[in-house]
Amino acid sequence: MSLFKSVKVINSGKAILLSRKYGAPLRYHSTWLRDNANDHKTRDKNNGQRLISISDIPINTYIKSAFLDKKGKNITLNFLPKKKQIKFSVSWLEAHAYDKKQNNSKVWTHPDLKIWSKATLKRVPIINYKSAKSDKKLLLKWLKSLHYYGFAKITGCERKSGTVVKIAKLFGYVRETNYGKWFDVKSKTSAVNLAYTNLGLKAHTDNPYRNPVPTMQILHCLKSSIKGGDSKVVDGFKAALRLKKENKNYFNLLSKYCSRFEFKGKKNVHLKSRFPMITLSPDNELTAIHFNNRSIAPITDVPYNNMPNYYKAYRKFSSIIDSSSMAFTFKLNPGECFILDNTRVLHARTAYSKTGSRWLQGCYVDKDGLLSTISTL
Ligand code: NM2
Ligand code: OGA
Ligand code: ZN
């Protein structure tokens, strides 16, 4: 039985009205409908890409007549002045409806994001490397959790150099940077980056001095026989929401004004960027956190009168991020790795002893690959 009752041409052919058995009727404009035709003259039959452009659609496009088939599943539309017949499945139209109250659910990130703190992160999404390779269903479930929590672990990885690239290939493509396709995180003398020492690193997002920033990071442990070097992750969105709740003015300052970030490598590397520490979409949804005390450059985008309060806001945000109620703490053992959404989840490590050895390998991957893998698995 059909859930669609009728289709009617309205507004002198400038739109149609689709009546449904359940839910309010839906309207669609003639130009929108013409643009979204799915015939072989509008879209290539091999790759589905659009063959027409907006200039191919007459400005005065209108619908002369509209019919719903007997089963109530498809409609046929006749367009003029450029004669054209287009069929739509009503379920496709319903899935792409825009004639509705714009709800406030997340559209930039994902409505199912799980915002967490130490107390609410019940279980870390975890998978065994072998199962991730062999069980597509398990892999999909884990990748979705990685997306929703912005953090996940893998156990049972090979303790071999370069394994981090194989891990990246589970869901995406390595993003090469000045640090290489992948990099060793080891204590070195005259290190180009503080990450390559045995110092502690406060919670940070990686490479905020790069635009675009790498959106995911993988860190894989090969050796760990030192004292210290414990790992910590913090949900930056949770921290931003806490700041908003505790001091709206501080939240506004950190999202309105850009901070500056900079990194100078040994040769041929000088990266600079500007981002708000708390980045919002034009419709005020949290989309990214940029936070890294080691790479903040002189901040010059805040007007003189606001600078004292901006620094108070920065201090407050930093203290929320560092508060023990926020962090999930763990020890990364050889053969384990963790993956982060670097636009959201901050990571930290405690300082470690000079005796013993510690060897991690890391690489960057972009999140679009993760989302595409989730969509297609
Ligand atoms: N490393 C590990 O963003 C940063 O500077 C953190 C990045 C050197 C690639 C360290
Ligand atoms: C890094 C980093 C953490 C660690 O390399 O970016 O944050 O545990 N390392 O060494
Ligand atoms: Zn880092």
pLDDT in tens, 28-44: 999 999 999 999 999 99
Q: Is the CB of 66 under 6 A from ligand 1?
A: no
pLDDT at position 100 is 85
Same domain? For 23 and 75 the reply is yes
Same domain, 321 and 363: yes
The predicted model gives 300-312 an average pLDDT of: 97
Q: Which of 95, 114, 136 is the last residue of a domain?
A: 95
Look at residue 113 and tell me if it is in a domain: no
Q: Are 91 and 133 within one domain? A: no
Q: Does residue 168's CB lie within 6 angstroms of at least one atom of ligand 1?
A: no
Shared domain check, 238 and 355? yes
| 173 plus 311 within the same structural domain | yes
pLDDT tens-digit profile of 41-72?
999 999 999 999 999 999 999 999 999 999 98
**Domain shared by 70 and 180, yes or no:** no
Last residue of one domain, picked from the residues 55, 72, 95: 95
Q: Residue 121 falls within a domain, yes or no?
A: no
Phi and psi torsions of 224, nearest 5°: -160, 90
Based on the fold, state whether residues 165 and 313 are members of the same structural domain. Answer: yes
Whether residue 247 contacts residue 373, with contact meaning beta carbons closer than 8 Å, is answered with: no
pLDDT value at 1 more than 60:
no
- Which of 95, 113, 137 terminates a domain? The answer is 95
| The predicted structure's pLDDT at residue 10 | 98
226: tokens are 């030192």
CATH number, domain containing residue 276: 3.60.130.10
Question: Among 349, 353, 358, which residue has the most ligand 2 atoms within 8 Å of its CB, making it the best to mutate?
Answer: 349
Evaluate if residue 162 carries a pLDDT over 90: yes
Ligand closest to the CA atom of residue 208: 1
* 258-279: pLDDT as tens digits: 999 999 988 899 999 999 999 9
For a mutational test of ligand 2's pocket, the pick from 295, 339, 360, i.e. the residue with the most ligand atoms closer than 8 A to its C-beta, is 360
| CB neighbours of residue 308 within 10 Å | 10
The pLDDT value given to residue 80: 98
- Cα-to-centroid distance, 129 and ligand 3 (Å): 22
Give the position of tokens 């508060």: 323
| Res. 119: pLDDT tops 60 | yes
| Number of domains the chain is built from | 2
Dist. CA 206 → ligand 1 center (Å): 6
| Containing structural domain, residue 14 | 4-95
3 falls in which pLDDT band (50, 70, 90)? confident
Which residues touch 151 (CB under 8 Å, ≥6 apart)?
124, 125, 233, 235, 328, 338, 339, 340, 341, 345
The CA-atom distances, in angstroms, between 70 and each of 8, 73, 140, 242 are 15, 8, 39, 55
199 is a domain residue: yes
Task: Give the length of the chain.
Answer: 377
Q: How confident is the model at residue 257 (pLDDT cuts 50, 70, 90)?
A: very high
Note whether residue 111 is domain-resident: no
Residue 246 lies in a domain: yes
Nearest-CA residue for ligand 1 atom 10 is 195
Same domain, yes or no: 293 and 190: yes
- Among protein residues, the one with the nearest Cα to ligand 2's atom 2 is 195
Q: Which ligand is closest in space to the CA of residue 220?
A: 2
Q: What are phi and psi of 208, to 5 degrees?
A: -65, -10
205 and 65 assigned to the same domain: no
Ligand 2 mean position, distance from CA 185 (Å): 7
Evaluate: CB of 183 within 6 angstroms of ligand 1: yes
Ligand 1 contact via 195 beta carbon (within 6 Å): yes
Residues 299, 157 share a domain: yes
Pocket (CB within 6 angstroms of ligand 2): 185, 195, 201, 206, 219, 231, 347, 349, 360, 362
In a domain, 105, yes or no: no
In this structure, are residues 49 and 56 in contact, taking their beta carbons and an 8 Å threshold? no
- 205 Cα–ligand 1 center, Å: 9
**Nearest residue by C-alpha to atom 1 in ligand 2:** 195
The residue-averaged pLDDT of 82-86 equals 97
CB 321 within 8 A of CB 234: yes
> What is the Å distance from ligand 1's center to 196 Cα?
8
Whether 74 is in a domain gets the answer yes
Question: Which of 193, 209, 275, 360 best tests ligand 1's pocket when mutated (most atoms within 8 Å of CB)?
Answer: 193
Instruction: Please give the pLDDT value at position 205.
Output: 98
Is residue 119 a part of any domain in this protein?
A: no
Q: Check which CATH number belongs to the domain holding 15 and give it.
A: 3.30.2020.30
Instruction: Give residue 332's pLDDT.
Output: 98
pLDDT tier for residue 216 given thresholds of 50, 70 and 90:
very high
Inform me whether the pLDDT recorded for 2 exceeds 60: no
- Give the model's pLDDT for residue 291: 98
Cα three-residue angle 130-376-103, rounded to 5 degrees: 120
Mean pLDDT taken over the chain? 96
231 and 322 housed in the same domain: yes
For the chain, give the percent of residues with pLDDT over 90.
Answer: 93
Rounded to an integer, what distance in angstroms lies between the CA atom of residue 5 and that of residue 1?
10
Mean pLDDT along residues 91-109: 86
Across the beta sheet with 4-10, the strand order is: 4-10, 15-20, 26-29
Instruction: Kindly state the average pLDDT of the residues 176-196.
Output: 96
Query: Based on the number of CB atoms within 10 Å of its own CB, is 347 exposed (0-12), middle (13-18) or buried (19 or more)?
Result: buried
Average of per-residue pLDDT across 362-366: 98
Query: Is 80 in the same domain as 214?
Result: no
* Predicted confidence band of residue 107 (pLDDT cuts 50, 70, 90): confident
The yes-or-no verdict on residue 323 having pLDDT over 70 is: yes
The answer to whether residue 92 scores a pLDDT higher than 60 is yes
Q: Answer yes or no: are the C-beta atoms of 260 and 235 closer than 8 Å.
A: no
